[in-house]
Structure 1
Amino acid sequence: MSSGFKVLHLMRPFQPFLPNVEEPIRKIGLNDKLIWTFIGLLIYLICCQIPLYGVYITDGADPLYMLRMMLASNKGSLMELGIQPMITSGMILQLLAGAKIIHVDQKVDEDKELFQTATKVFGILFTFGEATAYVLSGVYGTMGQLGYINALLIVVQLTVAGLVVMLLDELLQKGYGLTSGTSVFIACNIAESILWRAFSPITVNAGSDTEFEGAIIAFFHFLIAKSDKFDGIYKSFFRQNAPNLLNLIATAAVILIVVYFQGFQVKLTVSSARQRGYDFPYPIKLFYTSNMPIILQSALISNLFFFSQLLYTNFKGNFLVRLLGTWQDVDMSGRSVPVYGLVYILTPPQSILDFLFSPIKTIVYIAFVMVTCAIFSKTWIEVSGSGSWDVAKQLKDEGLTIKGYKMDPSGRNIKRYLDHYIPIAASFGGLCIGALSVFADMLGAIGSGTGILLAVTIIYGMFEQFSKARGQGRGGKILGIL
């Protein structure tokens, strides 16, 4: 039990009323983890296909159009808001904890439980707030068209769906799945988008011709249908109205680069203070905080885009609103893009030509992404229990030490040694993640650079968890420590 009053103690009255997933009472086997992960994903996919009841229009403004893949959301369905409220609440609480405004010790069970309660409370509040903003802004129709009962039903549906997402994420995070629900939903959404844009059989109008949306299907269609084969191959690689083969090649190249960077690591030698000759490597990866920096950065950007478009829709004449972002419709589906203001500067470049025509905007965007990813990564290790002091304490509790260093009861000598690696890996890894994201955007990769980066790191992490679980199943205790 922690002593003294903390801000987190304000969450105690909410604990009895919030649904909670209990820790597993026994060790969950690999097959069971796969089953639970599949069940969680299946529930999410079903929710993505259930339309909202009471909606009057389905082609209204879409504030999250540019970020739906990264937010695991689906327009017009129960998953309209996706994971945005949940990661927003998590981001704010993590930053408050990092700034020491909220004091939380992840080693203390009560603090850990209260922090999870706070995340749920803020997540529900954000979900309710964003759902209300959607309804009041006319995304589903005006209040006169919807009526107060339908408007209330839409808000309730989105709020309950947001709570379901939180519980699924908690279920998988507490050891029932291979990774968090957030990660599974994001990876599924992005992988589905890439496959659809490669093999979509839907036709699109391109002037006098009809083309297939999927890049690969369009390639074979051009070869068969066009008399000028060279023109068909050229269109397959460079068409602008739909995904092309160059986009697919860029996507594959980015995936390979990210996988290559996953192997960058420094291996420290850890030895047992109790048993001589018991040495093994302790890897500190370049992507020490995995995909968390880009997830938190996406949450920040998505909220800026969300509130900017909603404000502009209702208060176009306000100078401050226009300074935040001026939006312009690009087609009849409700898709809008920022053309001026802060959110325009934070719009990722779509190709290298964007850098040539708007170098200052591109440089500002690159600097913003890299710096914010580095800051989020550095902050994350301090609040997630993966900083130098946390790792040193974990090694000490396991009776382990860095080879060549004597066991210090306080663990300070190990912490000082780890300070040369962990904070640098977190900050520099965050910079690299931001740079890779921008690089993928400029190449024109399908699914955006951030989306691909998220998908690859998530799938790679799941593969590592799968391998680790198999190793533990065979009695590999070292893998469990790592």
Structure 2
Amino acid sequence: MSKFRALDIFKPFVGIVPEIELPYEKVVFDEKIVYTIGISALYLLSSLPISGVNPNKIADPFNWLRLPFASEAGTLLEFGVLPVLTSAFFWQIVSGLKIVKINFNNLSDRSTFQSLQKISAVLIALIYATILAISGYFRPIDFFSYQNSLNSTTSILWSNILIIAQLTTSTAIVTLLVELLEKGYGFGPGVMVFITVSAATKFTGSLFGFITNIKSFESNGVIVQLFRNLFNKPLTTGIYSLFNRTDEVNFTQVYLTIIVLLILTYIQNFRMDISIKSTKVRSMVSTYPIRLFYCGALPILFSYTIIYNLNIITFALTKIFGGSNLIANWEIDSLTNNTYYLTSGLLYFISGSSYYSNFLSYIGKIIAFTAFTTFTSGIFGRYWYAMSGSTGKDLAKQFKEQDIVVVGHRDATVAKELNKLISSSSLIGATILGAVIGLAESTGLSKGLAVGVTTGLLCALSLLENVMSEYQQSGSVNSQFAQVFGTN
């Protein structure tokens, strides 16, 4: 009699969950490029306003958390990739800690595991959409105009049901788009693709956007607004205002982001090169790099996933049941009416809020937030490589399958030596990443731009490595993108 496992409880759900089939034949390099670009464009185009919600009239308490998760307030991408990442982190940790035993070499177990991640992501979106709708988050600031458009409790109820249905459906579609990329049709991980394109478009728009904000009558792009100010305002006033504007990205955010990017780009180049050679081709010696940021952007995404989930839950519950100074307290920005600030409570000390009642609380928040991101990122880097199948043993097995040996080491000791390098670089890199981002964001000056652009850059570098690896293996033959990658 076969032994019963907890995973078997969830297997009946596999048949009812939509699944992307694996490609019947190998998808060539050029097709992967086209699929990736097309799916990325489809994701960006999904940021349509939720029916019954005006994005310009809701106050957003999560604006400093949105960019790393490719989310957009008041649109179908209200949650972005947050539910997908939350589900992925949760189930990977559960499987890594052996709470639920999963054999990833077994097709049935792997299929069940993927279905669990999709179901969990959709359930998270359903729960969050429900509690936010009940809390009144989607209602416009001028609530009286909202009441005039909805004349009864029944109308409000149906409006909330429509919002919940839209957000749940959009999250289900996002999970399928992620799966489409990860099943080999494009380049994955799919979540990283969406974070990359979202960060790139937002940062570019923040610098060069021509669209005029209907509230402040200023251009989205800070550089574009700079030229407008030079022609319409005194020089000193025009430049000073661009360092302090609140409705759009300002120069303070841009300069702080550039400083963080320069620091992390410099650290990104730190690596340990391992000499390897092929057992089939003589005199062919190469190097395999173990980078300091071995986990890429995942450690800081893990930290921010915890913070984002806590913010959504506590905001909704405090609005439904009344504010609590012990946990969190939000106050609307009286000048712009387009955001809420965390002003007190335990959650305030792990937030990027720019509000402070006194200097000591501000310093305390900077220390607490930096310590939180540093600790959680470091813990993630310490254990994640083992949970995700990226240990020295896994890398040594990969080398063996490709007939590659590490110069100066016997096969029996390769896994041990690789594991030392990987564990050290993963822990140190994740800790440094958490400390730099935490320090930059804790001041409240960046407002999420630094962490969003940084995660986008690190995700882009990881994707570029995947693309170049695929190109070198099979893409250089008859590829239409040969000139892009510097070959004929």
Alpha-carbon distance in 2 for matches of 1:239, 1:52: 28
**Post-superposition CA distance 1:10-58 (Å, at most 9, x none):** 2211111111112223222222112111221222222212x32355997
Aligned residue for 2:7? 8
Distance 1:245 1:53 in 2: 34
Counterpart in the other structure of 2:481? none
Alignment match, 2:326: 323
Cα deviation per residue 1:302-358 (whole Å; 9 max; x = unaligned)? 0000011111112225xxx4322111111464511111112100113759xx99873
Structure 1 contact 56–146 (Cα < 8 Å) conserved: no
Counterpart check, 1:117 vs 2:112? no
Q: Which amino acid aligns with 2:331?
A: Q
CA distance in 1 between partners of 2:239 and 2:55 (Å): 40
Verify the 8 A CA contact 1:293 1:374 in the aligned structure 2: yes
User: Against the structure 1 CA distance between its residues 236 and 117, is the aligned structure 2 distance closer, same or farther, given a 3 Å change threshold?
Assistant: closer
Q: Which runs of 4+ in 1 moved over 6 A?
A: 354-357
**What is the alpha-carbon distance in structure 2 between the residues aligned to residue 155 and residue 237 of structure 1?**
38
Candidates 264, 270, 273, aligned match of 1:258: 264
Q: What CA distance in whole angstroms lies between the structure 2 residues aligned with 1:405 and 1:239? A: 58
Aligned CA distance change for structure 1 residues 260 and 133 (closer, same or farther; 3 Å): same
Distance 1:434 1:448 in 2: 15
8 Å Cα contact 1:248/1:446 also seen in 2: no
CA RMSD of aligned residues (A): 3.0
- Percent identity between the aligned chains? 29
Query: 1:12 & 1:248 partners in 2: Cα distance?
Result: 49
Alignment of 1:58-457 (within 5 A): 59-141=57-139, 144=153, 146-201=155-210, 202=212, 212-226=219-233, 228-237=234-243, 242-272=248-278, 277-316=283-322, 321-331=324-334, 333-348=337-352, 358-408=362-412, 413-441=413-441, 442=443, 444-445=445-446, 447-457=448-458
Between the aligned partners of 1:146 and 1:304, the Cα distance in structure 2 is: 30
> 2:67·2:448 contact (CA, 8 Å) conserved in 1?
yes
SS in 1 for 2:120: helix
Q: Which runs of 5+ in 1 are unaligned?
A: 476-482
Distance 2:62 2:253 in 1: 22
| 3-state DSSP of counterpart to 1:280 | strand
Shift of 1:421: 0.5
Give the superposition deviation at 1:75. 2.3
Quickly say closer, same or farther: Cα 1:211–1:73, change in 2 above 3 A: closer
- Alignment size in residue pairs: 461
> C-alpha displacement at 1:267, in angstroms?
0.9
Secondary structure in 2 aligned to 1:79? coil
CA drift at 1:393: 2.5
Residues 1:129 and 1:78: Cα distance change in structure 2 (over 3 Å): same
Alignment partner of 1:39 is 2:38: yes
Separation (CA, whole Å) in 1 of partners of 2:330 and 2:452: 23
Runs (5+) with no aligned partner, structure 2 = 140-146, 478-488
Q: Aligned residue for 2:144? A: none
CA 1:56/1:239 → structure 2, altered by over 3 Å: closer, same or farther? closer
TM-aligned CA deviation for residue 243 of structure 1 = 3.5
Moved more, 285-294 or 248-257: 248-257
Residue 461 of structure 1 is matched in structure 2 by 462
Q: TM-score, normalised by structure 2?
A: 0.85
CA offsets per residue over residues 216-260 of structure 1, 9 Å max, x none?
A: 12222232223x434444444566675333433333333333333
Residues 348/154 of structure 1: CA separation in 2 closer, same or farther (3 Å cut): closer
Question: Is residue 54–residue 150 contact of structure 1 (8 Å, CA) maintained in 2?
Answer: yes
CA deviation map 1:272-326 (0-9, x unaligned): 4566544321211111111111222221110000011111112225xxx432211
Question: Which residue in 2 is equivalent to 1:474?
Answer: 476
| Cα pair distance change 1:464/1:118, threshold 3 Å | same
The 8 Å contact of residues 247 and 443 in structure 1, kept in 2 or not, is answered as no
Question: Secondary structure at the residue paired with 1:419?
Answer: helix
Structure 1 residues 470 and 88 mapped into 2: Cα distance closer, same or farther (>3 Å)?
A: same
SS of 1:78's equivalent in the other structure is coil
Deviation at residue 474 of structure 1 after TM alignment: 3.3
Question: Quick one: structure 1 residues 355 and 432, their matched pair in 2 at CA, closer, same or farther if it must change by over 3 Å?
Answer: farther
Kept in 2: contact 1:264–1:286 (CA 8 A): yes
